[in-house]
Structure 1
């Protein structure tokens, strides 16, 4: 079986400029390395672009909405307007199965929204799920971004997700 890399919300509003997540540079580097490894291994790569509401930094068609990492030829680009990429794209699980995908590697934004929801849906769909630690992030909120991301990793690990440091992820 093959692996797939889901890159969630790696958009300019999250990785560039004043509104970027606190760890934007290190997350961007980790995502770039995961993409290189996935591409070299022939893994399926899916970029999921978040469509924010009117007036938000990720409003469709605005500079912040644009993907910060360009998809390579043949890579899938999907859009979503809810946290869960599988709920927003009901055919995603079937599409991955058609590609003989058994393991989904999750990276991107935001840990406490899209990463959490999409990882749980991938599990529910029957995929083995790997969360690439260091390749996902969020903004500070009631707790620091680092604490929120760590809590999400702990929650998802308890659910059955393998949390693996991004440099150790294999496709």
Structure 2
């Protein structure tokens, strides 16, 4: 079964001073390790890039829209544009996965309760084997609960749709 790594919405706009995603530096460091392991095993990496409307932090074509430089794509990586929390809806993701023979998707990125959750559930519903990297996604605190609580909750709930493992336990083959 061929594997693929999806990195969702890790864009500069998610790291704005004063409004940085929860443990953003740790997220980048963890993703660098995951990417290194994926590249060492020739696992395809697919970057999902959110296109937000004018005036938003991820406004298409703006500096905030750019993929974070510390995990930037290499030649041969695929970049897929999206406009909703679902990385499959009105995108080329399914076509790219099919072209590469990918049946097992490893998911990481931002935002835990939105794009990561939605993509995880959708991939499961489409018949993909899904692994959520429990320490490789993040979000922001809400007025009701902390970012860590949101992450912990989703790592538990998404076990219905994915295997959930920390990145150190994942070996791409």
TM-score by length of 1: 0.94
Residue in structure 2 matched with residue 164 of structure 1 by the alignment? 165
Cα shift readout 1:15-53 (whole Å, capped 9, x = no counterpart):
353221121011111111111111111111100111112
User: Is residue 120–residue 161 contact of structure 2 (8 Å, CA) maintained in 1?
Assistant: no
User: What secondary structure is seen at the aligned counterpart in 2 of 1:46?
Assistant: strand
Does the aligned pair in 2 maintain the 1:110–1:137 contact within 8 Å?
yes
How much has 1:125 moved relative to structure 2?
1.3
Using the alignment, how far apart are the partners of 1:128 and 1:53 within structure 2?
Answer: 32
> What corresponds to 1:132 in structure 2?
133
Following superposition, which runs of at least 4 residues in structure 1 exceed 4 angstroms of deviation? none
Aligned length: 169
Question: Aligned residue for 2:5?
Answer: 5
Aligned-pair RMSD on alpha carbons?
1.2
Could you state the TM-score of these two structures normalised by the residue count of structure 2? 0.93
Q: Which of these residues, 145, 148, 156, is aligned with residue 147 of structure 2?
A: 145
Unaligned runs of 5+ in 2: none
Spell out the pairing of 1:60-139 with structure 2 (5 A cutoff): 60-68=60-68, 69-89=71-91, 91-139=92-140
3-state SS, counterpart of residue 26 of structure 2? helix
> Is 1:3–1:44's contact at 8 Å kept on the other side of the alignment?
yes
